[in-house]
Structure 1
Amino acid sequence: MRRTVRRPARAMAGALLAVAALGGPAASAYGAGGGSLEVNPYSVEPGGQVTVNTTGCGKKASAAGDASAVGAGPFTLAPGSRAGEAVGRFRVPESAQPGTYEIVAQCAEGDQEVRGDLVVTLMADQGQVEPRGSVKTGVGGAQGRDPVRTAAGVAALAVAAAGGTWLLHRRARGDGI
């Protein structure tokens, strides 16, 4: 009986084609009239640089981009390294809020407009607030870092441990309680 062995490269290529065909994040760009605007990276932090490209603007491969939705303003798409490709760049402002923003480009020839989405996420240390206060569980909670209360608690635990040890020792010797 002959076993077929799947190669990882084939499996990966098949998975990538399936994601592209089903419209995953890499295929999230859309446009009117068959063109699309690819946004790379799809998800960016405030202050990050974004590259957009499209093949939907015809042979001249140039367009006027607009990233005003995210606060970056206008930018230019110029002919790229591949034939018929227009490429442009812009920087997401530091003040950008998290969310999904529509990036638009108006092609130089005709009235073709291409669109794509950009997701802005927060950095780990930006906008994060440490929790304060206690959790309302009904069991009680910490009363703070009062050294007098801490010392009293430690002393009470030490007396209880010493008394318990003394009682167990007397019981083991048969002296009774």
Structure 2
Amino acid sequence: MLDQLPEFSALSPVDAMGQSGSTLFQNVRIFDGSGSPLSEPMNVLVIDNIIQLISTDSITPNVGTVIIDGGGRTLMPGLIDAHWHTMLIRPTPAQSIVGDVGYNNITAGVEATDTLMRGFTTVRDVGGPAFGLKQAIDDGTVPGPRIYPSGAMITITSGHGDFRQLSELPRTIGGHLSRMEQIGGALVADSPDEVRVR
């Protein structure tokens, strides 16, 4: 993978993302995930995060293009994590609910960058308050993978997504929202009518 290339790992996360400009990977064998064997040595030109050209012939780069000599190593497409929780990777569920929201957001941003550097360019966030981090990644504030957010989990009392604390008062329909619900982590719905309200 790219992080095994010394030239690539020396780049900052923002440079590595190639947010603007172009990157030319030279002398790489391509793994495309289709079951085909690795390609012969190829050159790959990426402009503004989009693969523009793959060729066995030399590619003449534009001025300012970052050139990475793959040395015959393998280049592969970005991975997709189909079950990811933006706010539940670094902090524990308890920390993400009762901890400081600002701190949790910062640690989620660091984890997003680490996730990208591990080769995951797309993640499906399957529950939780992911919209702020998605926005920060999309506008270039934080390097990270493309996030497809689901929003708050809908759960039943004591269900998989019920992270309410034992010290919280029982909920009534239309009553006070739990901390978990206030931060957008999960919503409790114990009947079809409550699901419709949510």
Q: Please classify the TM superposition score into its range, dividing by the shorter chain length.
A: under 0.3
Q: With structure 2 as the length reference, what TM-score do the two structures score?
A: 0.20
Work out which structure has the larger RCO, using CA pairs closer than 8 Å and 6 or more positions apart in sequence. Answer: 1
Normalising by structure 1, what TM-score? 0.22
